[in-house]
Amino acid sequence: MAIDVDTLQKLREESAEPAPLDLTWLNLDENGHPWGMRAKPGKRGLTLDEIEIGPAGEVPVQSDNRAARVRGSVPRHDAMRVPGAYAGRADVYSENTRLLYEEAVQRQWSSATDIPWEGIQPLPDDIERAMCQLCTFLTEVEFIAGDTPGQWLPKINSEHHEVKLFLLSQIMDEARHLDVFRKRAFANGGGLLSSLPQDGLRVIIDAKDFTEMSAIMHVAAEGFVQSMFRMGEYIGQNDAEKRIFRMCGQDESRHLGFGVMHLKYVMDNEPWRREEIHHYLDKVETTLVPDPMNSDGTNFALFEALAILMAGGVKNLDKGIQMSMQVQKKRVNEYMHRLTVAGLGDRRQRMSPMLRQFLDN
C-alpha cells in the first residue's frame, strides 16, 4: 500500500539525526582475536583440518559455552543459553570426525542417477521376494538410522561443531539409503513385504545418552548391517543391486568409523565409564539375534531371505542356511574386533550367549 504525500512529508520533518555508529567490534586487539592467521588449502582442498588452526581449532576438553556461539568467535554476556548442551569433549567427540565429514561431502551419490536401474531384469519369484524382504528390512532400519542423529544435534555443544557436521552428513547418507532400498523393492514388480520386529530399532531411538546411542547404533547395529552390505557383491542378482550394496557400504563405513573411535576416545579419557558402556551393549545384543524360544515366524524372515539369496533359490535352502550361519559368524567376529579396537576387549567374556557362540577362539 502506497504512503500518502502528507504522511511522507511529516516523517521527513520529524526524523531525528541517525544514531552514532558503534564500531567497537573492530577493536580486535581488545577482543584477543588472532588476526592474520590464514587458512590455506591442502591436497584435498580447504578442509576442516586446514581451517581449524590457532585458538579456534582447539577443541576444549570442557566447555562453559552454553550459547549458540561458534568456536573461535568472541563471546557476549547477554547471549541466551541453549538447554541440554553437553559440556565435555568425551561426551560426543571422536578424533576422526573431521576426516569422516570431509569424505562424506566429497562422496555423495544419487539413488536416481548413479544406480543402473535399467539393468534389472525379471527374477524367479522366490529370489525377487527374498530381495524385496531384505529391502523392506533395510528401509525400516535406515529410517531409524536417519531419525536418531537428528535427536542429538541440539544437545551437542557448538564448540564441538565437527560432530554436528558429521551427524548431518550421516542423516543425508541414511536418507539416500532408505530411498534406494525402497526404490529397489518397487523396481521389479515386488514391493515392500513383511515389517519385522521393532525391538532393535526401538533400543536405538530410546537411548538417553549420546555414547549410549553411538555404541548401540554405530558400533553394534550398523556393524551388522555393514556385514550385509559386504555380501552385496555375492547376493546381488544384477549390476544395480551390486552397486547399491557397494555404495551403501561405503557410506556405512564412515558411521562405523565414528562410533568405534568415539568409544575409544571415551575409554582413553573416561575409563570409569566401562561398566556403563557394557550395560548399553547388553541391551542391544539381545536384539541382534532372534531367540527361537520367544519368536514367531516373521522374526526369521530376514535370515531366511538371506539364505534364499545366497543359495540361489528355495531349492537350495539348506545350503543357504549353512552359508548364512557363516555370515553370522563373520558379523559377530567383526563386531568383537571393533570393540577390541575401542578398548573393550573384555566384552568377549560378557557377550550375549546367542552371539558368543559364533566367536572364534
Structural domain boundaries in the chain = 122-356
Gyration radius of the chain over CA positions: 26
- Residues 241-253 have pLDDT tens digits of 999 999 999 999 9
pLDDT at 17 over 70: no
232-261: average pLDDT: 94
Q: What is the pLDDT of residues 142-185, one digit of tens each?
A: 999 999 999 999 999 888 999 999 999 999 999 999 999 999 99
Contacts of 231 (CB under 8 A, 6+ apart): 245, 306, 310, 327
Average pLDDT, the chain: 86
Whole-number pLDDT of residue 60: 74
Residue 27 pLDDT > 60: yes
pLDDT at 33: 66
pLDDT of residue 80: 62
What is the spatial distance between Cα 148 and Cα 158, in angstroms, rounded to a whole number?
A: 19
| Of the candidates 54, 52, 79, the residue with the CA atom closest to the CA atom of residue 64 | 79
Please tell me which residue, 266 or 44, carries the higher pLDDT value: 266
Q: What is the pLDDT of residues 262-283, one digit of tens each?
A: 999 999 999 999 999 999 999 9
Q: Is the pLDDT assigned to residue 358 strictly greater than 90?
A: yes
- What fold, for 122-356? Ribonucleotide Reductase, subunit A (1.10.620)
Query: Is the model's pLDDT at 348 over the cut of 60?
Result: yes
Q: How far apart are the first and last CA of the chain?
A: 81
pLDDT for residue 260:
97
Confirm if 53 and 98 have CB atoms less than 8 A apart.
no
CB atoms within 10 A of CB 186: 12
Identify the burial level of 279 via C-beta atoms within 10 angstroms of its C-beta, where 0-12 means exposed, 13-18 middle and 19 or more buried: exposed
In the predicted structure, residue 297 carries a pLDDT above the cut 60: no
**pLDDT score for 44:** 80
pLDDT at 202: 87
The answer to whether 220 and 284 are in contact (CB under 8 A) is: yes
Is the pLDDT confidence value at 293 over 70? no
Q: What is the pLDDT of residues 72-121, one digit of tens each?
A: 677 776 666 666 678 889 999 999 999 999 999 999 999 999 999 999 99
CB 330 within 8 A of CB 360: no
Residue 360 Rama label (left phi>0; alpha psi -120 to 50; beta)? beta
Most confident of 16-25, 33-42, 212-221: 212-221
CB distance 212 to 262 below 8 Å: no
Give residue 158's pLDDT. Answer: 85
- In angstroms, the Cα distances linking 354 to 135, 291, 304, 309, 321 are 25, 8, 18, 24, 17
Task: Say what the pLDDT of residue 28 is.
Answer: 67
